[in-house]
Every structure is written in C-alpha cells, then in structure tokens.
Structure 1
C-alpha cells in the first residue's frame, strides 16, 4: 500500500531541515539531492524498494511532481525564504498545540494582509524609505518593510514580513506607480 504524505520539501529531497542562522544548502547539494530523490522514488528504477522510514506495511513514495516542486521551491531564494517562513509558523503552531492535522482540522496561519498605504513611513539617514506597523505583541515597530524589500518583490506586488518581537506575519501588498502617472 502506498501512502501520500504532507512531507516537507526537505524531507522529500532527503535533506536536513534548515537551522536558524545557518547558510542554506548549496546549489550543488540541492541538485544532487534532487537526482537522488528522483532515482529513489522512480517506479521503474526501484519498484519494490520502500523509501526510508516507512510506516510498517506501507511504502512511502513521492511523485515526480512532488520532487520537482520541492526542488524548484528550494532552488529559488525568494521561494525558499517564504517556504522556510511557513515551516517556522507550522512548527510554532505545533509547539502551541494548534496542530489540527491529528483531528482532521486544518490550522490557518492567519497572516494579515494590508496595503502599503496602511503603514506609517519615514526616511532613514541613508535616504532609504522604511514603513512600519505595530504588532499586537506590543512592539510598536514590529513589522518593518524597507524600500529594498519592495524592489526585490516588485514582480509579485506583495512582500511578507515577520514581526521582530514575536512569530506573527504580515503580508503587505503594493503597486508601483511610474512617474507622471496619477495618484
């Protein structure tokens, strides 16, 4: 019997989970893990060999799509940062007893979405614009968005930032107005 799971991208590729303040795995290591996972879970290569640590009586397999998604997410620095942030939220929820998967409930992170215009702003000494908003944890400038963050996320039109004082997140949406346009 084959079982599908909600394994992390790191588990799918057979990589250790990311540690805080540690550099991410290298592109070469990531490619090697991707190739290894494809071979290990390819039905024509190892049809009878179960994956590592299966549940007794079950074979844990991942599809090529799952492996490819894991690789593409972890290969893109922005996508990896967002994915690692979601993993951190899931771990925080599990430690607080909010992991609803055991009883069939799905726990939502509750990321609040706001417009950039809803934040207060100021200009730093180096001329960079900074926007901020207080958090319910009490930090008056818990959520901070820098002009550089917006420039990096201009294609997406939104940036997700974590509070400096707690584990809450804020999704800030914005639009780019070219000089000479209204507004």
Structure 2
C-alpha cells in the first residue's frame, strides 16, 4: 500500500488480494474481517500485549468510520461491484500518472450533524456574534462558530467545525432568512 494514498476497503479490512477478484465474498469472511479490524484498531483494545496488535503491522490505525464504511461497501454486491470498478479506474489513472479517487478522500472522525438553533449564542455587543456548543471530551466551548464563518458558508447552508479539544467534528446546518421589505 502506498502510504500517500487512502487505503482500499480490502486493505482496511485486511482481506487478501485474491478476494478482490472473487465475484462474491462470504458474509462470514466479511464479518470476521470486520470484527478483527475493529479490535485491531480500537484505541481502547490495542495495547503492546495484545495478540492482535503483535500480529498487525505498525501501520497507522484506521478509524471506526473507515472500517464500518469498508464493511458496508463490501457487504452489498452492487455497491462492491461499483467500488471495484472505481478501483480499476484508479489503477488505470495511477498508471497513467493522473492520480485517482483514493488520493482525494478526506476522513473526519466522529462527525455529527445538527442545526444552528441547537447551539448556544453569545450576542455580546462588544464582540462578534458567536455560536458554541460543548463537546463530550469536556471542552465547554469545543465547537465555536462566528458570524463570519456563517457568511463564508452561506451558499452551502452548512459549516463544518472541529472541536478545540479533540478530533470530533460538527456539521452545522443553517438557512439565511431574507427580510422581505415592503
């Protein structure tokens, strides 16, 4: 695996290369690979004394989101066929020097989607309007959004902000209400 590219779902689940060419993978094999990957890369489960950790490489761990996404993609025959087609296209593009889809994926661990109305608002005249929410990591103002952030993302109707104290992300949806002047 090229460390600069996003790993394939087969690499994430540590499935052998010959299985990529099979028309179907048994549900039992996928479930076993999924569970092993979760145990191998779970931050609370992996330790230097763990048998699974000793068996695995010193690769960077995959997130639970990546492992779950890989499992769900490979479990559904139609989704898997589409994914395999995109892998074949990636290999062709990499061989021609164009670069593929694998290099463009950006994973954000622990993303939650909420509405702007679910945040607390500071409406202090001396400061810019801000919205905030505490995070489960204990940071009281883990997620902070300013009026300028909302103005920058007005055309999207959503803004994504990371916690100041951990790796969690929050997607905040909002809408602009125009004043209808008479």
TM-score range, shorter chain: 0.3 to 0.5
Question: Which structure features the higher share of helix residues?
Answer: 2
TM-score (norm 1): 0.45
Larger Rg: 2
If the length of structure 2 is used for normalisation, what is the TM-score? 0.45
